Structure 1
Amino acid sequence: MTTNPSTSAQPTSPHRTLGTTGPAAFPLGLGCMGMSALYGEADRAESLATIHAALDAGVTLLDTGDFYGMGHNELLINEALRTAPAAAREQALTSVKFGALRTVEGGFTGYDGRPEAVKNFLAYSLQRLGRDHIDIYRIARVDPDVP
């Protein structure tokens, strides 16, 4: 750790606390949406290499959505973390958006923020990610039907 010259008593770190009590994360995160064909064809090997390079560079936050590539993105992150060095795997934070409803063709049909739906989305995300928790979990858009 280095010290901040303006306040030499306070150590500085490249990591920042999320919110007031959240986990510490590297200041930049990696958005993984484009790795699941939402912007056109995606290359699996290149996507895995990109996640590994980000982790190697100190990035700790991997951002995804359970609806990115109909779950493909979470499976990709699972594979990348399984094949990453243990230290990077342990430092990785997952940020998952949920609630977007999609058609088989990939169109969006709305959002579902009902508690029972959220529990269902979470169960599938945990399974696809191969993790026992998700560090940041948030609805993709406010569901106007849920107070």
Structure 2
Amino acid sequence: MTVRVQQAPFALGAELDSFAAGRTDMGAIVSFTGVVRDVATGDLDVMEIEHYPGMTERAIGKIVDEAKARWSLGDALVIHRYGRMGPGDRIMMVATAAPHRVDAFAAAEFLMDYLKSRAPFWKKEISGAGASWVAATDEDEAALTRW
């Protein structure tokens, strides 16, 4: 199980190839990539993401441990970026490997829902109109009720 919180961009294909390499014991590999989007105002310049080093990795690690306890996972990868990113930049990636697709999909969705709402990141959107902090939405919170 790997958790990386990093400022640098990541190469999606290379990360997924590395994660899947030699996985002859797993029948399913699922991945999700989050991208900075500009839907609220249409004029987003950048998103700034802040975190507390050490604390963030531990919190995400606990979420991954919970996923591992709930589903039959052979492996999981979580990459989340911080710093300044523009629309279209990759912000995060989740990959799961399991013997069967049901566990791989469920664990990936669980991780994504918890990362969106509970991981200790602080996001600020900056546009020509100013800057505003991004809060979890009601939809984000509601997604957690299924787990």
TM-score, normalised via structure 1 length: 0.32
Provide the TM-score with structure 2 as the length reference.
0.32
Between structure 1 and structure 2, the one with the greater Rg is: 1
Q: Which has the higher strand share?
A: 2
Between the two structures, name the one with larger relative contact order (CA 8 Å, sep ≥ 6).
2
